[in-house]
Amino acid sequence: MINVLFVCLGNICRSPMAEAVMRDLIEKEKLHDKIKVDSAATSSWHIGEPPHRGTQDKLREYGISTTGMQSRQLHKHDFDQFDYIIGMDENNIRNIYTMLGNPDSPKIFRFLDLTDHRMDVPDPYYTEDFQETYDLVLEGCRALLEKIKQEQKL
């Protein structure tokens, strides 16, 4: 099983959106028995909460479920359990390295570095632009899925 972890600050907007979108793409490509997806926060602010209402509403527009999703915090053992650990922005990447003990690993990278954008995913908690975030997340998830399929020969 290939394990993918998306990480953002609170695990209520960007990373759960990426988790849900990636799950949807994986299901459509019938790879759900090969790839598992999760998400986590670098902060402890929203632990146990469902995704932000704006994230839920945007995903519902596209027929993507967030059922059962709850915020959780990144843990040191996640480094051993996940093959890909993806931060939504540069601050998340710095926090991931600190929280995981500064591992030197290519499995940790910034999400949109897989695309032509090579930028941070804007946080809709502050921008309130859930459509922009969705569009970037969808593009990033498509690029990540292609990377995984090539690297894992799926």
Q: Which residues belong to the active site?
A: 8, 14, 123
Tell me the C-alpha distance between 104 and 109, whole Å: 11
Tell me the C-alpha distance between 19 and 28, whole Å: 14
Tell me the C-alpha distance between 30 and 36, whole Å: 12
User: Which of 93, 137, 139, 85 is CA-nearest to residue 115?
Assistant: 139
Contact at 8 Å (CB) between 144 and 84? yes
Beta strands in 16-145, from DSSP E residues, in sequence order: 35-41, 84-87, 108-110
